[in-house]
Structure 1
Amino acid sequence: MITVSTHTSTQAFRAALLYFHQQPNAQHSQHQDCITYHSDGLLLVQAGKVLACGDYSRLQHLLTDDIPLTRFENKLLMPGFIDSHIHFPQTEMIASPAPDLLPWLENYTFPTEKRFADPAHAAEISEFFLDELLRNGTTTAMVYCTSHKEATNAFFEASHRRNLRMIAGKVLMDRNCPDYLQDTAESGARDSEALIQRWHGTGRQLYALTPRFAPTSTPDQLGRCSELAKTYTDVYIQSHVAESQAEVKWAAELFPNSRSYLDIYDQYGLLRPKAVYGHCIWLDETDRGRMHDTQSVAAHCPTSNLFLGSGLFDVAAAENSQMRYTLATDVGAGTSFSLLRTMDEAYKVARLQQHYLPALQLFYHCTAGAAEALGLAGQIGTLATGAEADFIVLDTHATPLLARRSSTANSLEELLFAVALLGDDRCIYATYAAGVCVHQRAE
């Protein structure tokens, strides 16, 4: 029985509603068992959480005169997007030219991150970065900060003020980087632990231990990271692995006793649930088996991989191994904050490898699928009762071309496919976090 509290403000939203229960795939043509869809739905939100979600005709009796009703005509309301790999300090250096990953880091990334020693600069970029996420319909992100403790504090403070569900961490680098970004195994562990104690579980903030990638951490630093992971078993882990062939070769030279690049992290106990590794392009069958067995997650970053020419993530191999994967923008190597643009590129990368990704599957990987991979199923990525009310309102007629294509769609799959292939930030009519409108598209 649904009880509407008279002591807490309740909001109602009427629109078409969509959310996912399990992963759709190319073999299931109808997907009825994978989704909940209401062409004329009602969403009730109370105290920042979903109170009820269903057909308007079934739930309209719950509406009273004191409950404000917002109606979104010809719009699709669905859970907010979840970006599982993104760098907030790289916001200003997006679209910087380079022939490969390693020179891109040296010539653009590291000099840009140097400025984050200034907490005021970190605070300014944090605000702009969060604005961009929300403008693109992203309500949760797994965020790399810099090696500066105060820059990480600045990001969390900005997110906490807005009551957003964010996961972030201070980058650990104690070698193979400029002196101005380098920490030590001891200082990196000390700063990380202080940040965990300050922010993990504060409001809606969550912490991720963040060694940038194995080549920029000594064995001592990875060992300290492993100790923290054992002490704080519910924190996240994020890093990069097997992004480019030059990087893979470098990692092999630095860690000659490891079977593979992924095995470096495995030897330090850094593969586990809530561990998310960006890219995972140059993995082999054994690596994918370890990802599956440890319930670690691959963040597939197609716009970044195409931009840097790193390679093509093998979706078919990931699915055959039952390895968990999500979609991510990887700004600033990624070329857009929009997960719609990311879906577009993910679809094309799969087709280049003779694999087909349905639109419903793409949207799943950015909502319920990402939530499950991050251990947040039922909290975010869904409109189910009790979930945090993070949702977006999609305008499927946001541009003249999209409007014309949407008007001829014969199914939900066709409609979502058009939005994924043709859409961008203009499709995000509104974004809500914990039931509060945090972005409204300018008319």
Structure 2
Amino acid sequence: MSESDLRAALARELPGVRADLERLVRIPGIAFEGFDHAHVERSAAAVAELLRDCGLEVRIVRSGGQPAVIGTKAAPPDAPTVLLYAHHDVQPVGDLSLWESDPFEPVERDGRLYGRGAADDKAGIMAHIAALRAFGDSLPVGIVLFIEGEEEYGSDSLVRLLAEHRDEITSDVIVIADSTNWDIGMPALTTSLRGIVNCFVEVRMLEHAVHSGMFGGAVPDALTALARLIATLHDDAGNVAVDGLVSRGGAPVDYPEDRFRVEAGLAEGVQFIGTDRITDRLWTKPALAVLGIDAPATGEAPNALVPSAKAKLSLRLAPGDDPKRAYAALRAHLGAHAPWGAQVSVTLEHDGDPCRIDASGPMFDAARSAFRAAWDGTDPVDIGIGGSIPFIATFQEMFPRAAILVTGVEDPYARAHGPNESLHLGEFARVCLAEALLLRNVAAAGRD
């Protein structure tokens, strides 16, 4: 199909694509423990129906975890096969009072569609489906749709699923629609991602709580000890102070501080932490954050010294680091800096590898050409991502001959994982067009 034919087909299909996206957003498919996983099952079933309507052979599969959906359509003679990845599970919504509308009732405001999963990553699913609908029965490549059901919860069963279904999902090109674009009106290909180590650190000072007046001043409480321990994780400038972690500079793109301040939503007067360029701090250096603390709530706290306190830490790793080695370094640091003889225990929650992608070759040329056309002549930017998609390294290892293209529907204002997550509808239309053009270009590159 010509570019003009694809543009016309997508203009025809986009209203239905948006309606189906809104139906997916209404399903609260959260794979985290403690949530009703029947909704994840509903979400998988809804995705399977969408793929069947595109003429694919569809199966819902699992390997000890949440359901994934695989849809396939054989390649025409001598044409390559493209695997299209996205995930149908979503993050928990957090504090509902921070949402301006019901997170599972999609609402359009000022050209953006608001709702949990509207961007991350149900729009990724629908971008794939939009491209398939644009071609109808004239797909120029073989297609494998792999829609995961527990990405937000760590993809624990993904390696098993890939191994069990390796033969049917082996492809020449893998498109992972779970990243972001550089800005509204400026597309991007993601070429590096940080790894992750999430763990819990618990500090114990007492066998039981004791009166803060009778014992305070001589007996340390666990919250103060935990605060002092956490404070050792950064130097005065805010750089991560754990020895043994990979840290480098040289990110290829600069990030204006005034733009980044707005996009991050930094409160007035708050300073950035760390040194070097913003993109180095986000893409090629480690980051360490405290995600939560288990301790008495202030409204319920008695006048007693807290015997133990627990924090969840999230360490993001620079490309080239190893999560097992990084976890050992973090655990050693926490043990060595225990204040006042505190008993410190560290427990790993999960980890994931960082990755780097060599974004050269004919399939990447095909992608850049597609993006350039969809964004009316704007070249895509090669970017890194501070977040983690650990399974990309798994795809690299299991399918070393495949070109891996990491694309996405998000933009700097999407607020994925946070309250008021949203999708820019104009950019979404460009993403859908870019993917359709990509499939056409990949078919042409495969014939050359």
So what's the TM-score if we normalise by structure 1?
A: 0.27
So what's the TM-score if we normalise by structure 2?
A: 0.27
Higher RCO, Cα 8 Å, sep 6+: 2
**As a proportion of its length, which structure holds more helix?**
1
